[in-house]
Every structure is written in C-alpha cells, then in structure tokens.
C-alpha cells in the first residue's frame, strides 16, 4: 500500500486465544438456524460465525466460556443492526432509522426502566433480546445503565452518519469529532472489558475524569486503527470518502498518503498516552491497584487481539471477498 500502517505499538501484550475457543465454536453451532436464520444470506457470507468465534476468542482471551458466549452474541447483534441500517430503505432516512433504533433501545430498557420486557417487532430486536436477557442476570444495574447509555449514544451517532451518507454529504470535521467516540458502538467494548472482574471497579473510580480519559483513549486508538484499515479497503475499491483520512484530505488539502501517515502518527501518540495514564490512575486510586492492573492488562490484550485478528483474518484484504479466512489458534 502507498500509506503506512503503524507498527504494533498497541500490542503491549502478545495476542492470545481463549482456551474456550473450541467450546465457543460449539456454542455457535448449537445456536442453530433459529438464531441466525433471519440474518440475510449476504450477511452470513460476509460475517461468518467463525469470524465472531475468532474475534471474540482473540480479543477477550481471559473470559469464561459463559462470558464469551454473551460477547459473541453481542457482536452478532451489533453487526446485524449495523448492516440493517445500510439497507436502501434506511440509508438516508433518519426518521425510519431512529424509529428502529428506538425500538432496540426499548428492548434494552428491561429490567431497569421497564416493568415487563418489550415485545420484539423484528428479527434484529429478537437478536438483541436474546443476548440481553442472558446478560442481565450476570450484571449489576449500574453496569447496565452505563452500557445502555453507550448503546443509545451509538444509536444517535448511527442516525447522524445515516443522514450524512444518505445525502452524500462529506463528513464535517467538527461533527465527526463530536460523534467519533460513539461510532461503531466502540465504548460498549470498554464495558465488556469489565465483565467477570474478580474485583469490581467502584463507580467513583469508573466515573472519574482520569479513568474515563483512559477508556476514551483506548477507544480512540481503536478508531484510528479502524480509519487506517478501512482506508485500505476504500482505496483498493477506488473510493475513499467516509473516514477521517478523507476529512483530512478534503479540509486541509493534503494528499491521501500524508493524511494516512498523520492518522498513523495519531494512533501511535494515543497509544503512548494510554501507557502513560496507567501509573497516574494507580497513584490516584492506590486502594484499587489490583483491580486496575487487571483492567490495564485486559485493554492491552484486547488491543493486541483486535489488531492481530484484523491483520490475519482477511477481513479487509479484498473488498469483494465473500468469505472470511479464519485465523487459527496458535499452539
């Protein structure tokens, strides 16, 4: 490629694969067509079950099998919703998009703000309901309130993006930055990192500006990496117009290679900021040193797994590729 991708500066821990990987594959198969049957064949071809088995196993290697199953189903729900919003009837139709997302939000409201579960009105809502009802018994109300807040922020960002793309408007830099941390549902991944922690992170620590800055910086690293890897696909397809690289080119008049190099530098800078924030947080909250150390380790392994999976899976190697080549566990 003409632009450079950053070195694996985020891989502060070697990428691992969960020892539950074979069991997770079995879980996927046991789900059967009742779980996947409503997903369009085109989506099933593009996002094979093995993709989610592998991505989940690489990015959450510490998780128990029960937690991996929940995260696996979460990935499916998010991707199916995202694909649903790209359909002709939704793309550019903010009213219809917002109506559908409001229904998904209603499903997520139970049991904390609804007395009874919402009735799923479409296949995507049934997917959301399936994994959400499995997740509820394993979480506290405070965790769910935070997670639902992040999901709703993602829904709002989806409406904004739908409006921009549907009307062929280039992304304006200020609006892009306002929505950046919520696009792709990225902040929900940070919530998933806190599942099954032996020692929970107290709310006053989690909600502190320093800790939130740490989590947001981790999301920004993911976003910058996604900009670069997405640009690789768009460039090969002859259309680079929907991410930060194209914004830099359009609004600052730089070439695409210079814009990609700048994003790579931002990625490396934010990764270093992430490393620098860890000791600062431990100094401020010394009584929670052990729990924080586990979170920091999870963030590093999550980043390493995310990068490794993208590099090895073939997910972005060919924009016309129908299938997914699955990375296998290392011995």
Q: Please tell me what DSSP assigns to residue 22.
A: H
The count of other CB atoms within 10 Å of the CB of residue 44 is 13
- Two structure tokens written together for 45: 């071809």
The per-residue pLDDT for range 90-143, each reduced to its tens digit, is 777 888 888 999 999 999 999 999 889 999 888 788 888 988 999 999 999 999
Least confidently predicted of 46-50, 104-108, 191-195, 268-272: 46-50
pLDDT of residue 216: 93
Residue 324 has pLDDT above 70, yes or no: no
Closest by CA to 73, choosing from 192, 187, 181, is 192
When pLDDT is averaged across residues 40-45 and rounded to a whole number, the result is 63
Rounded to 5°, the CA angle 113-115-120 comes to 85
Could you tell me the two tokens for 110?
Answer: 């139970």
Cis peptide before 111 (omega within 30 of 0): yes
230 vs 211, which has greater pLDDT? 211
| Top-ranked range on mean pLDDT: pick from 53-57, 61-65, 87-91 | 61-65
Give the Cα separation of 105 and 236 in Å (integer). Answer: 36
Neighbouring CB atoms inside 10 A of 79's CB total 18
Instruction: Write down the pLDDT at residue 37.
Output: 60
Between residues 40 and 203, the one the model is more confident about = 203
Give residue 1's pLDDT band: very low, low, confident or very high (50, 70, 90): very low
pLDDT digits (tens, 9 = 90+) for 158-200: 888 888 777 777 777 778 778 888 877 788 999 999 998 988 8
What's the pLDDT at 315? 57
The neighbour count for residue 95, using CB atoms within 10 Å, is 9
pLDDT digits (tens, 9 = 90+) for 77-98: 887 787 777 777 777 788 888 8
DSSP 186-229: HHHHHHHTTTT-SSPPPHHHHTSHHHHHHHHHHHHHHHHHHHHH
- Which whole-number Å values give the CA distances from 280 to 251, 273, 277, 301, in the listed order? 36, 11, 5, 20
**Token duo for residue 121:** 């009105």
Concatenated DSSP letters of 129-149: HHHHHHHGGGS-HHHHHHHHH
Distance between CA atoms of residues 313 and 324, nearest Å: 7
The pTM of the full predicted model, rounded to 2 decimals, is 0.84
Q: Ranked by mean pLDDT, which of 49-63, 239-253, 272-286, 317-331 comes out on top? A: 272-286
Q: How far apart are CA 101 and CA 109, in angstroms?
A: 12
- In whole angstroms, what is the distance from residue 101 CA to residue 98 CA? 5
**What phi and psi, each to the nearest 5 degrees, are found at residue 123?**
-60, -40
């Amino acid at each position: 490629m003409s632009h450079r991708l950053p070195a694996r500066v985020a891989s502060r821990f070697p990428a691992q694969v969960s020892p539950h990987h074979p069991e997770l594959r079995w879980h996927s198969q046991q789900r059967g067509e009742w779980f996947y049957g409503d997903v369009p064949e085109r989506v099933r071809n593009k996002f094979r079950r093995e993709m989610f088995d592998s991505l989940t196993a690489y990015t959450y290697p510490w998780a128990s099998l029960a937690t991996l199953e929940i995260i696996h189903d979460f990935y499916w729900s998010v991707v199916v919703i995202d694909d649903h919003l790209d359909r002709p009837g939704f793309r550019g139709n903010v009213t219809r998009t917002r109506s559908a997302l409001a229904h998904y939000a209603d499903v997520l409201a139970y049991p904390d703000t609804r007395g009874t579960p919402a009735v799923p009105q479409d296949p995507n809502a049934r997917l959301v309901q399936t994994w959400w009802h499995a997740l509820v018994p394993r979480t506290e109300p405070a965790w769910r309130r935070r997670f639902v807040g992040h999901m709703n922020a993602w829904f709002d960002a989806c409406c904004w993006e739908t409006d921009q793309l549907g009307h062929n408007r280039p992304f304006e830099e200020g609006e892009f930055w306002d929505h950046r941390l919520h696009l792709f549902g990225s902040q929900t991944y940070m919530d998933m990192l806190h599942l099954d922690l032996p020692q929970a992170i107290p709310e006053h620590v989690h909600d502190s500006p320093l800790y939130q800055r740490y989590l947001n910086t981790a999301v920004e690293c993911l976003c910058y990496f996604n900009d670069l890897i997405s640009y690789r696909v768009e460039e090969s397809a002859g259309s680079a117009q929907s991410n930060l690289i194209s914004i830099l080119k359009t609004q600052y008049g730089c070439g695409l290679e210079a814009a990609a190099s700048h994003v790579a530098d931002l990625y490396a800078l934010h990764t270093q900021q992430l490393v620098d924030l860890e000791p600062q947080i431990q100094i401020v909250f010394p009584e929670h040193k052990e729990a924080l150390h586990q979170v920091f380790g999870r963030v590093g392994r999550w980043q390493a797994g995310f990068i490794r999976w993208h590099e090895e899976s073939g997910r972005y190697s060919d924009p016309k590729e129908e299938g997914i080549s699955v990375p296998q566990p290392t011995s």
